[in-house]
Amino acid sequence: MAQYEVMFAGFGGQGIMTAGQLLAYTGIKEGKQVAWIPSYGPEMRGGTAYCTVVISDIRIGSPIVPNPQSICVFNRPSFDKFESTVKPQGLFIVNSSLINVTSDRTDFTQLLVPANDMAMRAGNVKAANVAVLGAFVGASGVVSFDTLKEIVKEKLGKKKEVLEINLKVLGQGYQLALETIRRKEKA
């Protein structure tokens, strides 16, 4: 991996920025070069929000990435806006709890993650962002899952019950991605 770029996109309030920050902190903990760039719509909560995370083994030339290798979309407007910008051979992760369409593109891997459903079953719908983050790390392997778990414990560990929910959905998202990738490799 010389450099890997990912975008998280959705409504303000869905934990988009938190997902990006957790990934960025994980990259930093692993000694990688990292850039995290947030972007908010004018409405903030409820408006469009996205962030880009660049993780690299070498110095990052520019954190501005018009066509990232991976995009994780949390809502339909983000799906519509960003689906066409994923690089060929990239990864497109869709929160299938809130997005009832799939991409027609065949030049990237599409991963459907029922993130809101997973989070609600675990006990807190606010953990949907962590489910998607787990799936992203499982599918991309850009950082170690164990390091990511350490960061989640460190950054989201103030309330024991909230931490347990986040760790549960993180693991579920990760496992879902691994199983999906394995199935696609066998097909």
Phi, psi of 109 (to 5 degrees): -90, 125
Where do runs of H (alpha helix) occur along 83-127? 115-122
Tell whether the torsion through CA atoms of 84, 23, 184 and 126 is positive or negative. Answer: negative
**CA 72 to CA 33: how far, in whole Å?**
21
Predicted pLDDT of residue 112: 97
Predicted pLDDT of residue 133: 98
Domain 3-186 falls in which CATH fold? Pyruvate-ferredoxin Oxidoreductase; domain 3 (3.40.920)
**Six token digits for residue 153:** 């414990």
Judged on CB neighbours under 10 Å (0-12, 13-18, 19+), 183 is exposed
Predicted pLDDT of residue 75: 96
Confidence class for position 187, pLDDT limits 50, 70, 90: confident
Mean pLDDT of the chain: 94
CA 67 to chain centre: 16
The pLDDT tens digits for 92-102 are: 999 999 999 99
Judge if pTM exceeds 0.85: yes
Predicted pLDDT of residue 115: 98
The pLDDT tens digits for 33-64 are: 999 999 876 655 566 799 999 999 999 988 88
Which residue shows structure tokens 């790390």?
137
